[in-house]
Amino acid sequence: MLQLPPLALYIHIPWCVRKCPYCDFNSHTADVLPEADYVASLLADLQQDLQFVQGRSLQSIFFGGGTPSLFSTAAIRAILDGVQAVIPFADGIEVTLEANPGTAEAEKFSGFRAAGVNRLSLGVQSFDALQLQALGRIHDSAQAVAAVRLAQAAGFDRINIDLMHGLPGQVVEGALADLQQALDLGV
C-alpha cells in the first residue's frame, strides 16, 4: 500500500532589514511591511493547495526568508491560526521561525512562543567580527550571543543557529572557535 510522506509547510517571508551580499534567496528590503495583505495572500494561496494535503496532518512548519521575525507576533499568529483552521496540526508539531540576531527583541520572542512557534533559528553565520563584516551582517558577536540568551529567556528550548564555514580567509581555528561558541551557548 502506498504511504504518503509526512506533510510539512514552508512559509516564505521575503523581507530583510538589509540584503546580505551573499544571499540569493528571494528577499527584499522595505520601509513598511505589507503584513495584512501578505498574510491574506498566503492563506488564499494555501486554499489552492489543500487538495495536496490528502488527509494528512502537518508535522512541521518553517518560516523562512528573508527575516520572518520582522513580522509582528500578531501576523505570525494569524498565519498559524489560518493554517490550523484548514489543516490539522500533528501532536508535537515543530514550528520554526528564522530570526536575525541584529533584530532580536525579548518581547517579540515571547510573543512568537505564545503564538505557537517552538523552535527559533538564528542566522548567526559567524561569531568573528571580520567575517560578520565581510558577510554584510547587521549584527556583531555580542548581539548573536544576546539573541540566543533572549530566546532561552523567552522559553525556547529548541534553538538552532546557522554557521557558515569555508568563508574567504577563514582558518580552521576560526571555524572551530565558532563551533565552540555555539556549543558553549547550548544550541
pLDDT value for 20? 64
Confidence of residue 120 (pLDDT cuts 50, 70, 90): very high
Query: Between β-strands 15-16 and 7-13, what pairing exists: parallel, antiparallel or unpaired?
Result: unpaired
pLDDT value for 23: 67
**CB 59, CB 8: distance < 8 Å:** yes
Please state the rounded mean pLDDT for residues 109-135. 90
Whether residue 122 is predicted with pLDDT greater than 90 in this model: the reply is yes
Are 7 and 55 spatial neighbours (Cβ–Cβ below 8 Å)?
A: no
Please give the average per-residue pLDDT across 164-180, as a whole number.
90
Q: Does 167 have pLDDT greater than 90?
A: no
| Residue 49 Cα distances to 43, 45, 116, angstroms | 10, 7, 23
pLDDT band at 116 (very low <50, low <70, confident <90, very high): very high
**Average pLDDT, stretch 54-69?**
93
Read off the pLDDT of residues 90-110 as tens digits, 9 standing for 90 and up.
Answer: 999 999 999 989 888 899 999
pLDDT band at 18 (very low <50, low <70, confident <90, very high): confident
What is the mean predicted confidence (pLDDT) over 137-152?
89
Mean pLDDT for the chain overall = 91
Rg (CA), the chain: 17
DSSP code for 57? P
**Residues of the chain with pLDDT > 70: what percent?**
97
* Contact (CB, 8 A) for 63 and 96: yes
Q: pLDDT confidence of 21, banded at 50, 70, 90?
A: low
The whole-number pLDDT of residue 133 equals 83
- Residue 100 CB: number of other CB atoms within 10 A? 26
Instruction: Give pTM, 2 decimals.
Output: 0.91
Nearest in space to 184 (alpha carbons), one of 149, 151, 135, 137: 149
**What pLDDT does 123 receive?**
87
* 46 CB-near residues (< 8 Å, 6+ apart): 82, 83, 86, 87
